Structure 1
Amino acid sequence: MNGAFNAPPDIGTAVAEQAVSWLVEMQGGALSPRRQQAWEQWLHAHPEHQRAWEHIQRINQRLRGLSSPLAHAALNAPKSSSRRQALKLLLLLGAGSALTWGLREQLPVTPLLADFSTPVGQRRNLQLHDGSQLQLNTASAVDVKFDAQQRVIRLLEGEMLLTAARDSRPLQVLTAHGSLQPQGARLNVRQFGDRTEIAVFEGRVALMPTAHTGSALWVEPHQQLSFTRQAWNTPRPLDAGSGAWTDGMLVAAHMRLADFLVELGRYRRGQLNCDPKVADLLISGTYPVDDSERVLDLLAVSLPVRIKRFTRYWVTVEARV
């Protein structure tokens, strides 16, 4: 990123925010004479303001030549707050400012800055520098920070399966709800808004929720559980379909139709709705996540439902009349 913007002089966060606010306001339409005067006063009040303004103008001109999600958000975000955050981050990153790991985790657009990510409906396989294998599920994002002392993988959103390589440096996996320390482990980690779910296939994993004050919990092979920032649930045996997404499959074992459609909806864009009248129908089987249209057609054959498509992006599964 720094190379793309030629690393201009450092710009403080407060000034960056001011410059972004002015740019967003100008993009919304011509300034009134009073606001024009206020902008000129701000611009000439300090040399740092002028540096920030010149730099963000250059960034704004170059954004359309970039394909990154952050550039897309800066140009096309539907809400001005999202666009303002994206522009601010580009300004700070391009300026070579000391934007730390901590700042990245605090900002709401963090997934846009992820080291590795996947869009909706795609999966990705990665080999990390230490030899670990990392697989990302649909709509997922991670940051990876390896140095001489430690290895840190932060799951920003979505789901990942990690096969950890043995290394003298400790390995830590962070989520919004706590930290995991795998030891020779192969594990699946999925982050929800209110919890994180883990499934351990091999090795052992030490779990410590963010706000927990006691000892860590060791999760053994063939166990899974969910945890919040305060506590964890009782470990239980692995579900039959744990990790099946890495093979492009969704496994259902007497699953409610409503829950099944939520899972299937993760792999397609748009809205996939379930009529409450059929929400409690049970479904079993193995289904390909890469062909959700075919799966929906199969549901119409195997269950007393019909698929109502307003568009490809607005689909409802409802009771068959």
Structure 2
Amino acid sequence: MSQHTDAPIAETVVQQASHWLMLHWQSSLDSQQQAGFDAWLAADAEHRRAWSRLGRLQQQLIQVPAATSLTVLRQQPELRRRHTLKLLTALLLIGGSGVVAQRTLPWREAMADLRSGTGERLQRTLDDGTRMALNSGSAVNIRYSASERRIQLLGGELLLDSGHDPANRPLIVETAAGEIQALGTRFAVHEIDGGSRVDLYAGELELRPRHAETSRLQAGQQRWFSAERNADIVPADRNAIAWNEGRLIAERMPLGQFIAELSRHRPGILRCDTAVADLPLTGVFPLADTDRVLAALQQSLPVEVQRVTRYWVTVRPRS
């Protein structure tokens, strides 16, 4: 395979290719859709490269011959198709051959002990009584041993209420940035901006970045850290875990940030036009019905919702 073929695909092309792939999965294209797809494919060599790589990657993902891969994906449940689409689009952005791709984070998430799909939130009680909640699009491995209780957060966001362990084993959350050790606590960890954001609501935590100074958090504090550095300690955001109750709370939140958060709970592509990204938004919104949330935005802000399909939506200035 050539170096050009292995190279990452531009994000805009990935979004377009993902849109067409979702339409192909839903059913056979009608004449108008087929004409649009053919025109898109012919318009640019990068479009053809993206589509070709998508075909190869989906065959590897479901491990069936090319002749039957589309049929298999159409027959899969909606949640599995959403997860498959996210895997494929992430691999297009990463680039590399199929062998290399299988070592990347999306594949680790696919093989995780516990994972939530888009729009899905999970709650579990672990063997030691620890209560764990996973936000949409999250994945963890649970590695309990005689010496420690370790939870590997592979992506997304979790909320933990640590249980009392008779053996006094340490409870550790491991992320790509480092480790978080709980000392009888309630806290949330969110993989964001290339690091881990920790909000502590009760108890105490020790943060151990892989290549930076160890620090401690007290109840009511928040800190973001990467493998190499610690950000400043700021007040914990209690609204940040409203997802555990099926809500998204905004207090003068920029619309672009709000749409980015809402997109975690909605299949397909949801974007915000930069022209309205700084509009402040305040309110409490139900995560179970993102269409209702988008309708509410049109009533409260000078914006409109443009739908190419249900899976490709843009919030833009009102005409």
Same fold (TM over 0.5): yes
In structure 1, give the amino acid aligned to 2:205: V
Residues 206 and 294 (structure 1), Cα distance of their counterparts in 2 relative to 1, 3 Å cut? same
How many residue pairs are counted as aligned between the two chains? 246
TM-score if structure 1 supplies the norm length?
Answer: 0.69
Residues 85 and 197 (structure 1), Cα distance of their counterparts in 2 relative to 1, 3 Å cut? same
In structure 1, give the amino acid aligned to 2:184: G
Identity %: 36
What does residue range 21-32 of structure 1 map to in structure 2 within 5 Å?
27=65
In structure 2, give the amino acid aligned to 1:235: I
In structure 1, give the amino acid aligned to 2:154: L
What does residue range 31-180 of structure 1 map to in structure 2 within 5 Å?
84=99, 109-167=107-165, 168-180=168-180
In structure 1, give the amino acid aligned to 2:283: G
Q: Secondary structure of 1:111's match?
A: helix
Match of residue 288, structure 1, among 286, 289, 298: 286
Shift of 1:27: 4.7
In structure 1, give the amino acid aligned to 2:172: Q
Deviations 1:157-187 (A, max 9, x none): 0000011112211111100101000000100
In structure 1, give the amino acid aligned to 2:195: R
Q: Secondary structure of 1:243's match?
A: helix
Residues 131 and 281 (structure 1), Cα distance of their counterparts in 2 relative to 1, 3 Å cut? same
Q: Which runs of 5+ in 2 are unaligned?
A: 1-58, 68-75
RMSD: 3.4
Q: Secondary structure of 1:190's match?
A: strand
Match of residue 270, structure 1, among 268, 271, 274: 268
Match of residue 224, structure 2, among 226, 230, 236: 226
Shift of 1:233: 1.2
Q: Give the aligned partner of residue 206 of structure 1.
A: 206
Q: Give the aligned partner of residue 253 of structure 1.
A: 251
Whole-angstrom CA distance in 1 between matches of 2:157 and 2:97: 23
State whether residues 77 and 83 of structure 1, in contact with CA within 8 Å, keep that contact through their aligned partners in structure 2: no
Whole-angstrom CA distance in 1 between matches of 2:88 and 2:291: 29
Whole-angstrom CA distance in 2 between matches of 1:304 and 1:291: 21
Q: Secondary structure of 1:242's match?
A: helix
Q: Secondary structure of 1:181's match?
A: strand
Residues 299 and 108 (structure 1), Cα distance of their counterparts in 2 relative to 1, 3 Å cut? closer
State whether residues 240 and 251 of structure 1, in contact with CA within 8 Å, keep that contact through their aligned partners in structure 2: no
> Which stretch has the larger CA shift, 268-277 or 235-244?
235-244
Q: Give the aligned partner of residue 32 of structure 2.
A: none
TM-score if structure 2 supplies the norm length?
Answer: 0.69
Shift of 1:313: 0.6
Shift of 1:298: 0.4
Q: Give the aligned partner of residue 186 of structure 1.
A: 186
Q: Secondary structure of 2:152's match?
A: strand
State whether residues 118 and 139 of structure 1, in contact with CA within 8 Å, keep that contact through their aligned partners in structure 2: yes
Residues 276 and 77 (structure 1), Cα distance of their counterparts in 2 relative to 1, 3 Å cut? closer
Residues 247 and 107 (structure 1), Cα distance of their counterparts in 2 relative to 1, 3 Å cut? closer
Whole-angstrom CA distance in 2 between matches of 1:174 and 1:136: 15
Whole-angstrom CA distance in 2 between matches of 1:227 and 1:176: 10
